[in-house]
Amino acid sequence: MAQTRNSDSKETLYRAPALEKGLDVIELLAAQRGPVTIAEICDRLGRSKNELFRMLHVLEQRGYMERRGEGLAISPKLFTLGINNPPVLGLVEASKLVMEPLVKAVGQACHLAIIAGGDIVVVASAQAGDDLSFSARVGHKRPITDSSSGRVIVAFQQELEQSRSFAQIKQVSPQLLEDFVADCRAISERGYLVRPNGYFRGIVDLSVPVFGADGSTPLAAMTIIWLERIDQPVPAEQAITLMLKASAEVSAMLT
């Protein structure tokens, strides 16, 4: 008789060994920052090359992974499939319509990010029209704990979902949880985030939540990597106001 499992167990009511092997490979590659050799894949998954050879070939043939040098890496196909999901597609399309006039008004590039697993992923961006602004490319991902966008989204999650996010962070980076929780509380009270960029000195992240049609479920974060220009058309304080207005316009389009 098949055994049931809880959410943390490897046992399940129904088994599909071949599918499980394929998903293990995809999840392993998705967590890496660079290509992984076949030998490393086999070693990390505890499987022989014979067990995975056909699976790796099919995944590459179907476009879910690609060869880079001597190793394999996840391809953009899963990201593309996710973006083409109707709810995300609607969010992206609405955000693009709103972000284009926003970046012209503030003179800075802007991007939209969502949470996927333990990372934030940039799903849309708008450029300022010149080479004097910082931007994040579509497809860029970063751990929630390392991002302003992740803090903003988690800050406005409902209590149960937020508790799950905190638990996940505690499991991965327990030392970061206390500061992360404090940041989220401050963001929820303020309604937005202004924070020194975690990677460059002298640059500030401005980030606001983008809610769903219900006005309470955070779907994404709209973020500007603010690099103060000598000819800056508006100050950061005014940019935040414009970003909050833009976010509300996106939400209205999703109804």
Q: What is the domain-level CATH number for residue 242?
A: 3.30.450.40
Distance CA 235, CA 124 (A): 24
Q: Which domain covers residue 176, as residue numbers?
A: 85-253
Establish if 8 belongs to a structural domain.
no
* Residue 82: exposure state from Cβ atoms within 10 A (0-12, 13-18, ≥19): middle
How far CA 224 is from CA of 9, 60, 80, 139, 216, in Å, comes to 40, 36, 23, 16, 22
- Domain membership of residue 5 (yes or no) is no
- The structural domain count of the chain equals 2
CA 7 remoteness from chain centre: 23
pLDDT in tens, 167-215: 888 877 777 888 899 999 999 999 999 999 888 888 999 999 999 888 8
Assigned domain for 1 exists:
no
| Same domain membership, residue 90 and residue 160 | yes
Q: Which domain-ending residue is among 56, 75, 94?
A: 75
Q: Is the pLDDT of residue 87 over 70?
A: no
- Report which secondary-structure segment, H or E, holds 28: helix 17-30
**What three-state secondary structure class fits 126?**
strand
In the predicted structure, residue 40 carries a pLDDT above the cut 50: yes
